Amino acid sequence: MRRTNGMKRLGHMLWTLALAGTVLLTGCGSAEQKQPAAGTDSAQTAQKRIVKHELGETEITGDPKRVVALEYSFVDGLWELGVTPVGIAQEKDKDVEGLIGKKIEYTPVGTRQQPSLEVISSLQPDLIIGDLNRHKDIYKDLQKIAPTIILKSRNSTYQENLSSFATIGEALNKQQEAEQRLIKHKEIIAEFKKKIPAGDSRNVMLGVFRADSLSAHGSKSFDGELLEMIGIKNAIQDAPEPTVKISLEQMVQWDPDVIFLAEADDALLNEWKQNPLWNNITAVKNQEVHKVNRDLWTRYRGLKSAERIVEEAVNLLYSKDK
Amino acid sequence: MTSRKNTLLLSGLVVLILVAALLSMGIGPIFIGPDQIIRVIMGESSSLTFMIENYRLPRALLAILAGAGFAISGVILQGMIRNPLASPDVVGVTKGAGLFAVVVIILFPTASPLLLPIVAFLGALAVAIALIYFTRKSGAQPTTFALVGMGVGASCQALTEFIMVKYPMQANDSLVWLAGSLWGKGWDEIYALLPWLLVFIPISLALHRKLDIISLDEGSSTGLGLNVVRTRYMLLLLAVALAGACVAAIGSIGFVGLIAPHMARKLFGHQHRYLLPGAAVLGALILVIADALGRGLNPPIEIPAGIVTAVIGVPYFLYLVRQEKKK
């Protein structure tokens, strides 16, 4: 990036020259014209700032416009703050559309697990946002391309994702917008919380069916924690990990009142349905087995996604009471 | 006569590998012509300089180094165990490295990235120590080596899989490492690997006569005045040092250490004087091609080079087994 650095330096010089010119001109002119000079002054202090993140501190200059996001929750955050990422790490082409609700122009930069450094560098970004869990090993490589911040998303809690959003706001030089959006987010969540009757003691199991196993999201998972916060109890309270693989027997033992199925693979579900044990589960007896959007519940995370998850959960649990 | 033929063949392969490396550097999400690559390497500045200097060139160099390292390690193991199926994977060396690496990746996810190669190397070393310990009583018999190696390897693999099943969410992270990939690798890994190879490859080449002798049966080896047990352990440590350093740098890439020695044997015969450098060049060639394919088949998605070598390696290996059967 030697060349772009040079160009940046040139841009800097021109900018300083222009500034000096304006100051000189305003100095020669009348007193009332001093205002724009003061304005540019504050703009200049905002130009360079240090953003603290999971792997240290990164100096970011100006308002990043060409941002590469290596996790969906970061795309969510950027989009909510009015920035369309130039590059996104993705597994499926539909993922981004499903995340933000419309088609946007961007360059896919490979999978989230192994984003292509070559493609990222070819986009000449001015900010890269990576995930602590997936991208700490390539942090040094990303830094060589552009200022990089590493935040928590994968295997992280709901609260940690919220603080990642705040950091994205800082990096974009949009602290205020981010703060306002967070306040709005809390209001939205609080609204949904009101819709949940106090006496409801049903517990919910969040399960993703894979071809060979069911992974259940416990109370420490992103979606589990989120639902707990608004008063929807998770069936798995004492799991050591956010996600646990469980068998049908364990499912019966936990005996959830409601099951949210993020169904990925039919094979296992069909097999379980044949088993008499399945019909012993309270949720099955009460016909409280609901399908939910897997990508939304388990892969996207982020602010807007959290709001959508809560909305879907509340609708599924209480829509017929209305 | 054969020596001249072999020298010619070897120089031909060296030229081939330079051409392959040059072409492979052009392959990826962004295609670059060989003329442009040469100009950038010669120092001309262009918009592609960053990409070539930071990704393409170091990856090609690293593929050459690690490919050679794995191949030489394979030749040594096949020679000392007198079994054409031996390789760093089969005797458990890469599996030990894999186990140790997975423990770090999954159980200590916040550990510094610098720790991983060191731990992987220790894993390879641990397997070597286990091999020496368990084969001592039998006087380091080749068959004992092969069997103990497979046993230790299987145990490591079982433990690796246990950890991965126990922590399904983090298991994905270790898959790339276990498959072996040059993604995200660069000059740092080259500088870490180079000293090992600069020490151990020349030593291996210097020991070619010992390898020739030890490949013969036990009686002949002893008759020719060789301390068989000591030589075997020395060769084992040499092979482990090479494979361990390579695994530490780019993960446990399989099949290169198995296939390259076989190909070399076909081209150069059984004299280790030619077999060792021949396998090194072929191993380097395989890995350079595998890395380029992994990068270029479905961009921007990277297919780990270890998966490409397995896809190329398995059919070739089956072909070999068939040929052996016919004999």
Give A18-51 pLDDT, tens digit per residue.
Answer: 444 443 343 333 333 333 344 444 455 557 889 9
Q: What is the pLDDT of residue A130?
A: 96
Nearest chain B residue (CA) to A221: B169
pLDDT in tens, B3-61: 888 899 999 999 999 999 999 999 999 899 999 999 998 888 888 889 999 999 999 99
Residues of A in Cβ contact (< 8 Å) with B165: 245
Of B49, B55, B302, the CB nearest to A114: B302
Please tell me what DSSP assigns to residue B54.
I
Give the domain extent around B267.
2-326
Nearest chain B residue (CA) to A242: B169
* Cβ–Cβ gap B29/A122 under 8 Å: yes
Nearest chain A residue (CA) to B299: A110
Residues of A in Cβ contact (< 8 Å) with B184: 114, 117, 137-138, 141
Please tell me the class of the A203-321 domain. alpha beta
Q: What is the pLDDT of residue A121?
A: 93
* Cβ–Cβ gap A241/B176 under 8 Å: no
The upper half-sphere exposure of residue A311, i.e. CA atoms within 13 Å in the direction of its Cβ, equals: 10
pLDDT in tens, B193-217: 999 999 999 999 999 999 999 888 8
Nearest to B243 by CA among B230, B260, B267: B260
Under the banding of pLDDT at 50, 70 and 90, the label for residue B320 is: confident
Distance from CA of B51 to the nearest CA of A (A): 6
* Residues near B150 by beta carbon (within 8 Å), at least 6 away in sequence: B90, B91, B92
* Cβ–Cβ gap A136/B184 under 8 Å: no
The upper half-sphere exposure of residue B28, i.e. CA atoms within 13 Å in the direction of its Cβ, equals: 32
In CATH, A48-185 is 3.40.50.1980 = yes
* Cβ–Cβ gap A110/B50 under 8 Å: no
Q: How far apart are CA A12 and CA B216, in angstroms?
A: 72
Tokens 């030697």 label which residue?
Answer: A2
Tokens 């079994």 label which residue?
Answer: B83
* Residue ranges for chain A with pLDDT beneath 50: 1-42, 321-322
Q: Best residue in B27, B32, B50, B107 to probe A by mutation, most A CBs within 10 Å?
A: B50
- Whether A241 and chain B come into contact, CB under 8 Å, resolves to yes
Going by their DSSP bridges, the two strands A87-88 and A107-108 should be labelled as: parallel
The single-letter code of the amino acid at A43 is: A
* Cβ–Cβ gap A121/B50 under 8 Å: yes
Q: Which two tokens stand for residue B148?
A: 């103990």
Average pLDDT over chain B, rounded to an integer = 90
In terms of residues, how long is chain B? 327
**Strand (E) or helix (H) holding A259:** strand A258-263
Q: What is the pLDDT of residue B34?
A: 92
Buried b (16+ CB within 10 A) or exposed e, A13-28: eeeeeeeeeeeeebee
Q: How far apart are CA A116 and CA A128, in angstroms?
A: 13
CATH code of B54's domain: 1.10.3470.10
DSSP per-residue letters across A279-310? GGSHHHHTT-EEEE-HIIIIII-SHHHHHHHH
- Whether A247 and chain B come into contact, CB under 8 Å, resolves to no
The single-letter code of the amino acid at B232 is: R
**What's the rounded mean pLDDT across residues B111-128?**
90
Of B45, B165, B176, the CB nearest to A114: B176
* Cβ–Cβ gap A243/B169 under 8 Å: yes
Average pLDDT over chain A, rounded to an integer = 83
Q: What is the pLDDT of residue B166?
A: 81
Q: What is the pLDDT of residue A46?
A: 54
Q: Please, are residues A122 and B30 in contact by the beta-carbon 8 Å criterion?
A: yes
Domain count along chain B: 1
* Residues near B298 by beta carbon (within 8 Å), at least 6 away in sequence: none
Q: Please, are residues A4 and A124 in contact by the beta-carbon 8 Å criterion?
A: yes
Q: How far apart are CA A104 and CA A94, in angstroms?
A: 11
> pLDDT > 70: what percent of chain A?
84
Q: Please, are residues B156 and B126 in contact by the beta-carbon 8 Å criterion?
A: no
Model pTM score? 0.84
- Whether B132 and chain A come into contact, CB under 8 Å, resolves to no
Residues of A in Cβ contact (< 8 Å) with B250: none
Q: How far apart are CA A7 and CA B47, in angstroms?
A: 12
- Segments of chain A assigned to CATH 3.40.50.1980: 48-185, 203-321
Q: What is the pLDDT of residue A141?
A: 93
- Whether B114 and chain A come into contact, CB under 8 Å, resolves to no
